[in-house]
Amino acid sequence: MTLSFASPETASAISTDRLLCAAQNQPVDRPPVWMMRQAGRYLKSYRDLQEKYPSFRDRSEIPDLAVEISLQPYRAFQPDGVIFFSDLLTPLAAMGVDFEIVDHKGLILAEPVRSQAQVDALRPLNPEASLPFIGEILRTLCNELQEQVPVLGFVGAPWTLATYLVEGQNSTHYSIIKTMAWQEPVLLHQMLARLARSIAIYALYQVQNGAQMIQIFDSWAGHLTRQDYATFVLPYQWQIIRAVKAIYPEVPVALCVHDSAALLPLMETSGADVIHVDWTIPMAQARKVLGDRPVQGNLDPCVLLGTPDLIRDRTLDVIQQAGTQGHIMNVGQGILPTTPEENVRCFFETVRSATYPLVS
Amino acid sequence: MTLSFASPETASAISTDRLLCAAQNQPVDRPPVWMMRQAGRYLKSYRDLQEKYPSFRDRSEIPDLAVEISLQPYRAFQPDGVIFFSDLLTPLAAMGVDFEIVDHKGLILAEPVRSQAQVDALRPLNPEASLPFIGEILRTLCNELQEQVPVLGFVGAPWTLATYLVEGQNSTHYSIIKTMAWQEPVLLHQMLARLARSIAIYALYQVQNGAQMIQIFDSWAGHLTRQDYATFVLPYQWQIIRAVKAIYPEVPVALCVHDSAALLPLMETSGADVIHVDWTIPMAQARKVLGDRPVQGNLDPCVLLGTPDLIRDRTLDVIQQAGTQGHIMNVGQGILPTTPEENVRCFFETVRSATYPLVS
């Protein structure tokens, strides 16, 4: 494959369809691009707001603030999609789980969920009643963007949410939830099933309020053997994807798991339209495993701490290896807060300048 | 492949050669077995000593203590090898780096090594002069074990040691050392080359004092792309292995990298005799990638928090998948401090009861 390069001006005509087309494996003029954590701490405009509103829950739950934060990177870099600013854990509060999100430490649960009584007490999610601000954020974003680019919804998958519930905080080894998996599998499956039902409803609520694509994060499922992934992860991912597809077959679903190089074949069986790929596996090799299934990711976010030449070389290398169809350019994991804004600009401009030769 | 099972008594005849033979792909009666972090906190006898000697450096640098700790799991479980109790970072102090090892937090460096002057100030290691206790620990272990089982030496590889030097503490994203890799590659290569020379000398010193196999840990190299692994990791692993092999071609070298499922083909090119495999890739698939190269690991250490049935099933499954030659049973990462001792016993007894049908 050879790439041709248009000047950023010519190539910057924004199509609302580029991201959705690529996610559905339809031809596009160039790879669409967005970034995991594209709204956040690396942006000075975000840090200014953070100073004024120090509570993460305020920033993500007050609609005006969350909309403003979601749009900051769009105004700065014109990505091909806008993901709404929120957290994987936001719906847990609405299920009756009492937690705090502490800067630099992540989630701290008042009481880890480990007993039958606690699992039974997890309330089914009713987003209209308990998360109305999410609907408002999404509707406002759609209104602001006027279909220039699609709005992306996202949810945490049951295994990953359960790691927080059971471990009570961020974990290194996931030893408590794995012990539950071995010793009380029925209890854990009950928890996962409850989460799956609520998260499916949450994903549908996001689509009903304007999300045009759903990103599922099962961040910590990559710490499992293939056997455990098939037992405790896959059926619940599948349940959410099936629920979305049953009602909105046209809405693409993307699936992201960290440290997933060896799990790509199983990720594909989830029914997700787009498979997120980390950077430990070359994109060309992921392509061999996944065939023509749309792919996303693959750039080490630390590359954006490097020189402009490095950023251009590595970005174009991923694009070359991914081929000319079914590829969404993205970082393999969330962009780091220490990333300079000019490097992010270099990344976006590089992708915008790479037009496929196969499509005019 | 079918496995036959001997009673633990019949199978417990210990051969000094089982581990070394398997590492050299020679026939053995059953897979040899040892555990990463087999000496340590999961043992009550260790925790008792820890209470009496709270400093990690005391426990690992006072020969009588380190020997006693190394032998505790041998007395309890009769593994097929005894790894000496120490830390990857021990040689750094002898290179002039000032650090503390804090329980539950790991290493904290007084001053991260990031400048040319600091790299130039890293002293070449002279183990006889600055780490004589290591020689004494290894010689005493050999003497105590009387060749019943081999003594294992171990070293940290340059990339992994450099992550500590540059980041200054345990890291999640390795963003500081990666930034150095992009922006000051010459400086980083100088640091890695200095570390490689000293670590090669350290590995040789361990063999000269009785270590019969060398385990190389490049724990954090799995966070790199294949391209960066080839540039910043592989040449320095290769340098250490070549140095050992040049003088002691009969001493097997094993290489362990965490999160390495996608890196196995590159790990093989290091020249290591034994490739450690984590649990995200089924052993049968690792076998396909590595051919008949000896393999080690693959059991999720969290399995040892499960029931006896689970421990037996998963252990035998790894053994089945690995085939009847060139396999050393081990956990895929260090055993967790919360592991019950009776579960560790179950693990060892399971391996001892599994005799290969192909060898009497």
Contact residues on chain B for A304, CB-CB shorter than 8 A = none
Question: What does DSSP say about strands B4-5 and B82-83: parallel, antiparallel, or unpaired?
Answer: unpaired
The dihedrals phi and psi of A74, each to the nearest 5 degrees, come to -65, -45
Which residue type does A314 have?
Answer: R
Strands B295-299 and B151-156: unpaired
Task: Decide if B155 contacts B202 (C-beta within 8 A).
Answer: yes
Q: Which residue of B has its CA nearest to A173?
A: B302
Nearest to B305 among A182, A222, A279 (CB): A182
Q: Are A214 and A251 in contact (CB under 8 A)?
A: yes
Task: Kindly determine whether residue A306 and residue B179, on different chains, have CB atoms separated by under 8 Å.
Answer: yes
Task: Tell me the average pLDDT of chain B.
Answer: 93
Q: How confident is the model at residue B183 (pLDDT cuts 50, 70, 90)?
A: very high
Sort A6 into a burial class: Cβ within 10 Å, 0-12 / 13-18 / 19+.
middle
Considering only CB atoms, which residues of chain B are within 8 Å of chain A?
173-175, 178-179, 182-183, 222-228, 259, 261-263, 279-282, 285, 300-303, 305-307, 310, 336, 338
Residue type, B62: I
Rounded Cα distance between A77 and A75, Å, is 6
A244 residue type, one letter: V
The single-letter code of the amino acid at B6 is A
Residue type, B347: F
- pLDDT value at position B16? 59
In this prediction, residue B11 carries a pLDDT of 38
Q: CA separation (Å) from A326 to A79, A207, A334, B37, B191? A: 17, 22, 21, 44, 41
Give the distance, in angstroms, between the CA of residue A272 and the centroid of all CA atoms in the same chain. Answer: 13
Residues A343 and B300: their CA atoms lie apart, in Å, by: 39
Tokens of B329: 């049973």
Q: How far is B30 from chain A (nearest CA, A)?
A: 24
What is the rounded distance in angstroms from the CA atom of residue B232 to the CA atom of residue B297?
A: 25
Over residues B124-136, mean pLDDT: 98
Q: Which of B139, B42, B43 is nearest to B84 (CA)?
A: B139
Beta strands in A183-236 (DSSP E): 213-217
Average pLDDT of chain A, as a whole number: 93
Residues whose CB is less than 8 angstroms from the CB of residue A174 and which lie 6 or more positions away in sequence, other chains included: A163, A167, A220, A223, B302
Closest approach of A261 to chain B, Cα-based (Å) = 6
pLDDT digits (tens, 9 = 90+) for A300-314: 999 999 999 999 999
**How far is Cα of residue B49 from the mean position of the Cα atoms in its chain?**
23
pLDDT exceeds 50 at position B232: yes
Characterize the bridge pairing of strands A4-5 and B354-355.
unpaired
pLDDT number for residue B6: 42
Tell me: the pLDDT tens digits for A131-190?
A: 999 999 999 999 999 999 999 999 999 999 999 999 998 899 999 999 999 999 999 999
Which pairing describes strands B106-109 and B99-102: parallel, antiparallel, or unpaired? antiparallel
- Tokens standing for B24? 């050299």
- Kindly report the length of chain B: 360
**Cβ atoms within 10 A of the Cβ of A61, count?**
18
Asked if B331 and B317 count as a contact pair (C-beta separation under 8 A), the reply is no
Q: What number is the average pLDDT over the span B218-243?
A: 97
- Determine the Cα–Cα distance for residues B18 and B9; give it in Å rounded to an integer: 17
Name the pLDDT band for A16 (thresholds 50, 70, 90).
low
Closest by CA to B267, choosing from B303, B241, B298, B249, is: B241
Contact B343/B311 with Cβ under 8 angstroms? yes
Q: Is the pLDDT of residue B12 over 70?
A: no
Which candidate, B131, B259, B90, B56, places its Cα nearest to that of A220?
B259
> Rounded to an integer, what distance in angstroms lies between the CA atom of residue A124 and that of residue A107?
21
Name the band, by pLDDT with cuts 50, 70 and 90, for residue A8: very low
pLDDT level of residue A40 (50, 70, 90 thresholds): very high
Question: B178, A302: Cβ pair inside 8 Å?
Answer: yes
| B125 vs B95: CA distance, rounded Å | 6
Residue-level pLDDT at B335: 97
Question: Residue A15 — pLDDT band, cuts 50, 70, 90?
Answer: low
How many CB atoms are located within 10 Å of the residue A1 CB?
Answer: 11
Task: Give the mean model confidence (pLDDT) for residues A190-212.
Answer: 98
By CB atoms closer than 10 A (0-12, 13-18, 19+), residue B16 is: middle
Residue A19 CB neighbours (<10 A)? 27
- Percent of chain A beyond pLDDT 70? 94
CA distance B270 to B274: 10
Q: What is residue B304's three-state secondary structure?
A: helix
Size of interface A-B (CB pairs under 8 A): 87
Interface of A with B (CB under 8 A): 173-175, 178-179, 182-183, 222-228, 259, 261-263, 279-282, 285, 300-303, 305-307, 310, 336, 338
The phi, psi pair for B287, rounded to 5°, reads -55, -40
Name the pLDDT band for A101 (thresholds 50, 70, 90): confident
Helix, strand, or coil here: B173? coil
**Buried/exposed B215-244: b ≥16 CB within 10 Å, e otherwise:** bbbbbbbbbbbbebbebbbbebbebbbebb
Domains of chain B plus CATH, in order, are 4-355 (3.20.20.210)
Q: Are B46 and B343 in contact (CB under 8 A)?
A: no
Burial tier of A277 (Cβ tally within 10 Å: 0-12, 13-18, 19+): buried
| The pLDDT of residue B264 | 97
Mean of the pLDDT values across residues B98-122? 88
To 5 degrees, how large is the angle CA A185–CA A187–CA A193? 100
Put simply, the answer to whether A302 touches B338 (Cβ < 8 Å) is no
Chain B residues near residue A226 by CB distance under 8 angstroms: 280-282
Above 60 in pLDDT, residue B2? no
User: Are B347 and B16 a contacting pair, CB within 8 Å?
Assistant: no
Residues 6+ apart with CB under 8 A from A255: A157, A216, A218, A237, A241, A267, A270, A272, A274, A275, A276
The DSSP H or E segment spanning A12 is: none
Confidence band, pLDDT 50/70/90 cuts, at residue A99: confident
What's the confidence (pLDDT) of residue A102?
75
Closest by Cβ to B183, choosing from A178, A222, A307: A307
Neighbour-count burial for A154-170, b at 16+ CB within 10 Å, e otherwise: bbbbbbbbbbbbbbbee
Q: Which of A174, A261, A301 sits opposite B261 (nearest CB)?
A: A261
Over residues A21-26, mean pLDDT: 96
Q: How far apart are CA B123 and CA B120, in angstroms?
A: 8
pTM: 0.92
Q: What is the pLDDT of residue A9?
A: 41
ipTM of model: 0.89
Mutation target to probe the A interface, by most A beta carbons within 10 A, among B305, B333, B339, B346 is B305
Asked whether the beta carbons of residue B302 and residue A174 sit closer than 8 angstroms, the reply is yes
CA-based angle B121:B155:B83, to the nearest 5? 145
The three-class DSSP label of residue B2 is coil
